[in-house]
């Protein structure tokens, strides 16, 4: 008997609330650290290149391990994977301020610790995503609403985290932000381990009653690859999002911190701009859910990218005051709020139900593949050419990647209304080549 049928006689929001609460505290902590860690590296080394290297060493294992961790999560169970990986993340993050306070933090050790965090965060994030559909069933909440609440939770973390991180780092220094991040991971681990109802998040074999066939993982992965290769629109979207995610990672990990230091705004300016963009993004997402299904999909999609992309780079390059930067970031965040709902709708409509899981693994791994390189390339570019030329070049690259890409014939297949597609009962947003949050990870 599954956990769903065991509690089917009564309704309780505890499963869904637990998963969302664990997601909220862990993501908020990482957003605080996304300001604290780059600032820590900048003020202790003075090097944009080393700041980018830290981002690279954290995000490379994140992307690689998450792409390959699906069979592990299925076999061990998402609940166990989530609380164990969050606990390991908390310990690894906490070692950074502890070692620094003891004057025992060589740079190689810092790189090792952020790499450990990235490697365990990948399967941890995947495990929480997998538990959302089960939590929705147990809580008797429609899946569409549950996934929408999960998206809003992510956006709110992107809003609260930068504000808290900027203020905390400005008042107490960057190491306090890392302590907060460790506390967020620890609390998320406790919520998943203790607060969810018994029997939730068990291994797939406990539900299906049988083991997967030998070699099934690689065979299923190959089927997903074959499907993606045969769908020009999805493949084009994934490649485009891969490039924009690389640019977003460069922007958040290196360029914004360097701008904040050179402009004199400091970590408080990073927190302000990130929070303003996050609030506007939440508003955009809510409006997209309410009315975007009545609007032309392609027009909304590329208008969103036009607002979310190049303007942020150009305003930083212009030397405008912080209030003007905040206004542009708000407009960009609003446009960005429309993107993931459209990307999800396209995937739901085009990917067959039985292929959703494997297409998600491949789509996410390709769409996020450029993220580890973003900070590394940006740090090297700033060191050799300076901040303003890199910002101008990034704005041009963003515009060409997104809006000029609309001239390709594949986009005619997008058609329809902006968020017309609705997943049928029991489906999950598994094939969605999501835009990454601009500052999701510890080092990003």
| Alpha-helical segments (H) within 46-172 | 48-68, 70-76, 78-101, 107-139, 143-172
* Contact predicate 352/424, CB 8 Å: no
Q: What total of structural domains would you count in the chain?
A: 1
Q: Is residue 333 part of a domain?
A: yes
pTM of the model: 0.67
Q: How many helices (H) and strands (E) does the chain have?
A: 20, 0
Q: Is residue 393 part of a domain?
A: yes
Residue 307 has a pLDDT of 92
Q: Is residue 427 part of a domain?
A: no
pLDDT in tens, 91-120: 999 999 999 999 999 999 999 999 999 999
Question: Which whole-number Å values give the CA distances from 440 to 118, 219, 428, in the listed order?
Answer: 11, 32, 22
Q: Is residue 3 part of a domain?
A: no
Residue keyed to tokens 């309410």: 290
Residues of the chain below pLDDT 70: 1-11, 70-71, 74, 143-145, 147-148, 204-217, 220-221, 224, 289-293, 341, 344-345, 347-349, 351-361, 415-444
Q: Is residue 116 part of a domain?
A: yes
Q: What is the CATH number of the domain that holds 64?
A: 1.20.1250.20
Q: Is residue 39 part of a domain?
A: yes
User: Is residue 296 classed as helix, strand or coil in its secondary structure?
Assistant: strand
Closest CA to 109 of 92, 132, 121, 89: 92
Q: Is residue 435 part of a domain?
A: no
Q: Is residue 421 part of a domain?
A: no
Residue 87 has a pLDDT of 94
Q: What angle do CA 180, 186, 188 make, to 5 degrees?
A: 105
* Contact predicate 243/116, CB 8 Å: no
Domain containing residue 357: 12-209+216-413
- Residue 405: which H helix or E strand, with range? none
DSSP sequence for 123-155: HHHHHHHHHHHHHHHHHT--HHHHHHHHHHHHH
Residue 256 has a pLDDT of 93
Residue 214 has a pLDDT of 45
């Amino acid at each position: 008997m599954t956990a769903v049928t065991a509690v089917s006689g009564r309704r309780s929001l505890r499963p869904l609330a637990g998963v969302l609460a664990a997601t909220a505290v862990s993501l908020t902590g990482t957003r605080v650290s996304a300001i604290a860690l780059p600032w820590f590296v900048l003020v202790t080394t003075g090097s944009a290149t080393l700041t980018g290297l830290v981002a690279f060493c954290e995000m490379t294992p994140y992307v690689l391990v998450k792409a390959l961790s699906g069979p592990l999560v299925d076999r061990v169970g998402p609940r166990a994977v989530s609380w164990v990986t969050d606990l390991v993340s908390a310990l690894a993050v906490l070692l950074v301020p502890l070692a620094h306070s003891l004057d025992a933090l060589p740079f190689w050790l810092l790189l090792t610790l952020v790499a450990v965090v990235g490697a365990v965060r990948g399967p941890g994030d995947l495990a929480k995503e997998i538990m959302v559909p089960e939590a929705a069933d147990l809580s008797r909440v429609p899946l569409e609403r549950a996934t929408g609440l999960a998206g809003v939770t992510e956006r709110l973390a992107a809003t609260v985290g930068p504000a808290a991180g900027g203020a905390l780092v400005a008042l107490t220094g960057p190491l306090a932000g890392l302590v907060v991040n460790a506390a967020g991971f620890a609390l998320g681990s406790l919520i998943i381990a203790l607060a969810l109802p018994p029997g939730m998040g068990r291994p797939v074999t406990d539900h299906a009653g049988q083991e997967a066939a030998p070699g099934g993982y690689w065979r299923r992965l190959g089927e997903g690859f074959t499907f993606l290769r045969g769908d020009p629109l999805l493949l084009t979207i994934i490649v485009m999002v891969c490039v924009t995610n690389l640019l977003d990672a460069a922007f958040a990990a290196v360029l914004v911190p360097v701008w904040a230091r050179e402009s004199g705004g400091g970590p408080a300016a990073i927190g302000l701009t990130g929070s303003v963009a996050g609030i506007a993004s939440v508003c955009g997402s809510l409006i997209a859910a309410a009315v975007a299904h009545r609007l032309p999909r392609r027009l909304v999609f590329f208008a969103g990218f036009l607002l979310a992309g190049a303007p942020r780079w150009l305003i930083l390059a212009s030397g405008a005051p912080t209030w003007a930067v905040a206004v542009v970031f708000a407009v960009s965040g609003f446009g960005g709020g429309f993107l993931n709902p459209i990307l999800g709708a396209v995937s739901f409509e085009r990917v067959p139900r039985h292929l959703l899981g494997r297409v998600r693994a491949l789509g996410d791994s390709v769409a996020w593949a450029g993220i580890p390189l973003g900070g590394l390339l940006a740090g090297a570019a700033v060191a050799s050419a300076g901040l303003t030329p890199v910002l101008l070049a990034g704005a041009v690259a963003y515009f060409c990647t997104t809006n000029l890409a609309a001239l390709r014939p594949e986009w005619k297949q997008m058609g329809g209304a902006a968020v017309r597609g609705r997943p049928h009962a029991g489906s999950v947003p598994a094939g969605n080549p999501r835009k990454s949050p601009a500052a999701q990870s510890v080092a990003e």
